Every structure is written in C-alpha cells, then in structure tokens.
Amino acid sequence: MSDYLTIAVDVMGGDFGPRVTIPATLDALKRYPHLSAKLVGHQEAISPYLNRLNADIACRVEVVHAPDTISMADKPSQALRNGKQSSMYKALELVSEHKAQACISAGNTGALMVLGRFILRTLPGIDRPAIISSVPTVNKHCYMLDLGANVDCSAEHLLQFAIMGSVMAAAVDELEEPRVGLLNIGQEEVKGNEQVKLASRLIEERGGLNYIGYVEGDDLYAGRADVVVCDGFVGNIALKSSEGLARLISRKFQASFKKGIYRRLLALIASPVLNELKRQMDPSRRNGASLLGLQGIVIKSHGSANRKCFGYALDQAVAEIEQDVPRKICHEIEHKLS
C-alpha cells in the first residue's frame, strides 16, 4: 500500500466510537481511491465492521490493535503516563514512525494535544502547536487560530500562529496572499492589551505576510480576513459562541414558521433558501480542526460528530496530506523567522 496516502484513525475516540468512526472511514476510502486507512482500536470492536468489504476497500484497510482507550474524563497527564497502549497514542505513533501521514481522532482534546506534542514534537521554530479551523463568512470562510490549545500566548506565539495560518490558507484554499488579521477589541492602534499590540508590531515587521491589522469580532463573518489570529482563550469562546448562535437562529426559524398555516406555507415557499442558509451556517460542515505546528498532521474531530461530520475531518486530513502542510509551515518559519 506504499502508493497510497495513509491515515491513522483513532476509531475508539469520541462519543460514539467505532459505530461512527469506522463507517465514516470506509466512506472516505470510497471517495478517495488513492487513500488507505489504519484503524487503531480494539480488534474485537473493529472486526464486525469489516466482514463484508469488497476487495478494493479491504486491501486498503489495516487493523492496528490497541487494548486501551483514553476517555473524555482522563486528564492529559494521565494519558501521558498511562496511555501508551491506547488507540490515540498508537495512532499518533504511526505518524511518528512514518507509517501514516495523518492521525484523526474524536477523542479527548487535551490528551490529543499533549500526546501529539510529546510523540510528534513541534516543528523547528514553533514553540507551541495551535488549533485551527474555519468559520463561515459572507464570501466563503476564514481560518481562525488558536481555538483552545494555548490559553496564555506571548506576542511571539501569535506571530508563529499568523505564519502557520497563512500557510494553511494558501495551501488548502490556494490563496496567493491570504489576508491575515489580529483579533482585537477595536481597529485603532491604541486598542487592545500590550500583548496584542506587540504581536501586531511583530507580525507587521517580521511576518512577511499580507497583514491587514486588527479585526473585530463582527469582522470574522464579514470576510475581511482569510486568517484571524488570537490566543486560545479568546478563540475558543468566540468559536463556541458562534456555534451556539447558529443553533439558536436555526431553532428560532423553525419555531417561527410553525406558528399558523400562513407561516407554514411561507416556510414551504422559502425552504430552498432556508435550507441553503442552514447548510452554510451548520458548524458540523467545518468539523475537523488541525493541530498546526507538529511534525505531522493531526486532525481533531468533534466528539459528538456523526458519520457525515467525521467524514469532513477525514476530508481535511486528505487535503493537508496532499498539500504537505507541515513541510510548507517549516519552510515558511525558517524563511521568515531566521
């Protein structure tokens, strides 16, 4: 299977484990004829899903037995000490050993970050990995990082995040000069804390990026920037707030159109537009956050992801493998920060 792209899937991770992760992976193998998968987890839990595979899929599937599972309740320190036989640990090891080009897990985010950093190490010039994902805009989407890996960040860290995010947008979305903005409470130079002000100066002077300056919270959705940089504390709150607002709007629409026969008729007429709006705002379509800055590709899926949503995380992994994102980040960091 050396001619294939290879992903290692932690099939035991997430709220639903193998009953979601394995069917989603098999779906991905059908979408990508050049893809192979290593299913990492308990052999007995995996085997029932592989009984009736056709030959083309079966030859691209390998089971890697892992007797243990890291739970959502486990502390990252526990995972580091006691998780060597877990599906998450072994999936990351496959990337470290160059037996797979990416790892996908819906498991414990803190554990995945700690184990990823311990097993894969960070790229030269990167102090901390960052979690990046896309958020919808009026045009298409923008990338936002960090989304929770680093609660406290220095200005140097934010500079590194800016470079990594720019590389990601350029590689995956094929943008020549991604517009990079720094999230702040205003666009004026005097606004923000000292960390953000210093980061702005560093990005402008040393980043070598298409830096557009500060962006505010509402600019996230206006399409002003292709990459928005912030620390993990701010980024995680912004992301979760956005997802909650999207669900609220959807529920309000549904409740409103049920009030009376005329509103039901109006909902029927407007259904194509409403369905398109719901599709664009659905957070699950952007499932698959990348842990940028590691010496390997690691994709984090939502723990509650269903089969379709986990498939989006697999799509993200394939895109990053094909674009060789870690190598491009390493080159840009060396070039811009040397």
Q: Three-state secondary structure along 278-295? A: HHHHCHHHHCCEEEECEC
- Measure Cα distances from 55 to 49, 58, 60, 61 in Å: 14, 5, 9, 10
Q: How far is CA 40 from the centre of its chain?
A: 20
Alpha-carbon dihedral sign for residues 184, 189, 190, 194: positive
pLDDT for the residue 9: 98
- When pLDDT is cut at 50, 70 and 90, the band that residue 157 belongs to is very high
50 within 8 A of 18, measured Cβ to Cβ: no
- Whole-model pTM: value is 0.88
Percent of the chain at pLDDT > 90 equals 68
In whole angstroms, give the CA distance from residue 305 to residue 307.
7
The confidence score (pLDDT) of residue 279 equals: 62
3-state secondary structure of 61: strand
Mean of the pLDDT values across residues 262-266? 71
Tell me what the mean pLDDT of segment 71-100 comes to. 94
Taken in order of first residue, the domains within the chain and their CATH numbers are 1-126+293-338 (3.40.718.10), 132-284 (3.40.718.10)
Residues in Cβ contact with 58 at an 8 Å cutoff, skipping those fewer than 6 apart = 50
Q: Cis link prior to 146 (omega < 30° from 0)?
A: yes
Average pLDDT of the chain is 89
Q: Which of 291, 289, 293 is nearest to 160 (CA)?
A: 293
Residues 6+ apart with CB under 8 A from 314: 7, 9, 24, 25, 28, 104, 288, 299
Q: Rounded to 5 degrees, what angle do the CA atoms 169, 241, 10 make?
A: 60
Q: By percentage, how much of the chain surpasses pLDDT 70?
A: 93
Q: What is the DSSP letter of 131?
A: E
pLDDT score at 273: 62
Other C-beta atoms closer than 10 Å to the C-beta of 301 total 28
Q: Which amino acid is at 265?
A: L
Query: What is the tens place of the pLDDT at every residue in 16-42?
Result: 999 999 999 999 999 999 999 999 999
Structure tokens at 154: 């220095």
Residues 6+ apart with CB under 8 A from 303: 13, 14, 15, 72, 106, 107
The helix (H) or strand (E) run that includes residue 308 is helix 307-323
List pLDDT tens digits, range 162-195: 999 999 999 988 899 999 999 999 888 888 889 9
- Which of 143, 101, 106 has its CA nearest to residue 294? 101
Residue in 148, 276, 172, 155 with CA at minimum distance from that of residue 226: 172
pLDDT at 283 over 70: no
CA dihedral (243, 72, 115, 321) in degrees, to 10, reads -50
- 284 pLDDT band, cuts 50/70/90, is low
185-221 confidence digits (pLDDT tens): 988 888 888 999 999 999 999 878 999 999 998 888 8
State pLDDT tens for residues 88-132.
Answer: 999 999 999 999 999 999 999 999 999 999 999 999 999 999 999
